[in-house]
Amino acid sequence: MNPALPRPASWIPEFVALAAIWGASFLFMRIGTVAFGPVATAGLRVGIAAVFLLPILVARGHAATLRQHWKLVFLVGISNSAMPFVCLTFALQSITIGLSSLLNATVPLFGAAIAWTWLKDRPSGSRMLGLVIGFVGVGMLAWDKASFRPDASGLSSGWGVLACLFACLCYGVSASFTKRYMAGLPSLVSSTGSQLGAALALAPLTWWFWPPQPVPMAAWGAVLALGVVCTGLAYILFFRLIERAGPAKALSVTFAIPVFAILYGVVLLGEVVTPWMLVCGLVIVVGTTLSTGMWRLPTARQKLSS
């Protein structure tokens, strides 16, 4: 191999693996929710993730840091894990995993909007245009799929769509909170502590909403995979991706997640993906890439100089 040529991006396999893992989380949440219910599924997810991550945190020597900052980290766990996980599992009772993953792709969009209003991180012209385009895409998708008429099971897709969007709002708020109050904390401390805080917050509700009937082994396997692989391992992989590829490329994994989630839903659950969903998803992705600065429109000065 010619040393003068650029080396292939070694982070690409990890990027694809992370998108596939987080795409599978919607499938596992659906399976778990059918057997455990939304609250217990979310509680088991964060509890298993905390048990998985805590020994790694101790082995890396970060236990003292977690004790020092536990209040902030646990608070983030409630807003960044407990609340959105319950919302997502609730939503998956009435909407498909494909639709929920497309709505989840708006997380960077909400993050940019909240950073603007809270942290005064005023977006440029192209980023502001991206916010508008992204939220128009969300409106197009919600208008087509949201109905507040209950189906045969007594649920309505409208509440599922709103629950998904509220989860995205929680993620956006947590990102700005973390940037303002937790800058400099090791990522393993933030991820482990947030799962511990979420597990403690959801423990009473998990006990209260525990299903009275026996749970099949397939559901136990789904929540185990959800906690260990889709939460614990995924956090480690995500922060490793940030170190190797940079935050911009790592955050762009959000756009690849729906590809895998939709594929799992179609192949394994027989879900239907409409052309309108794909069009709306494309509008959301375009708006999000603009609003986060991952893609910038050329300015008038740049056009003149080119």
77 is written with which tokens?
């766990």
Residue 1 within any structural domain of the chain: no
Residue 6 within any structural domain of the chain: no
pTM of the model: 0.84
Residue 245 within any structural domain of the chain: yes
Residue 41 within any structural domain of the chain: yes
| Overall domain count for the chain | 1
Domain of residue 102, residue span: 12-305
Half-sphere CA count of 207, side-chain side, radius 13 A: 5
Q: Which residues of the chain have pLDDT under 70?
A: 1-9, 123-124, 144-148, 151-154, 243, 246-249, 291-306
Residue 4 within any structural domain of the chain: no
Report the pLDDT value the prediction gives residue 291, as an integer from 0 to 100.
67
139 is written with which tokens?
């409106």
Report the pLDDT value the prediction gives residue 112, as an integer from 0 to 100.
77
Residue 196 within any structural domain of the chain: yes
CA distance 212 to 20: 33
**E strands within 58-212?**
none
CA distance 220 to 32: 7
183 is written with which tokens?
């800058």
Report the pLDDT value the prediction gives residue 3, as an integer from 0 to 100.
46
Report the pLDDT value the prediction gives residue 1, as an integer from 0 to 100.
43
Question: Cβ atoms within 10 A of the Cβ of 138, count?
Answer: 23
Residue 3 within any structural domain of the chain: no
Comparing C-alpha atoms, which of 289, 305, 220 is closest to residue 297?
289
Terminal-to-terminal C-alpha distance of the chain: 35
Three-class SS of residue 210? coil
Report the pLDDT value the prediction gives residue 9, as an integer from 0 to 100.
61
State the helix-helix crossing angle for 125-145 and 275-291, rounded to 10 degrees: 160
Report the pLDDT value the prediction gives residue 5, as an integer from 0 to 100.
37
Residue 16 within any structural domain of the chain: yes
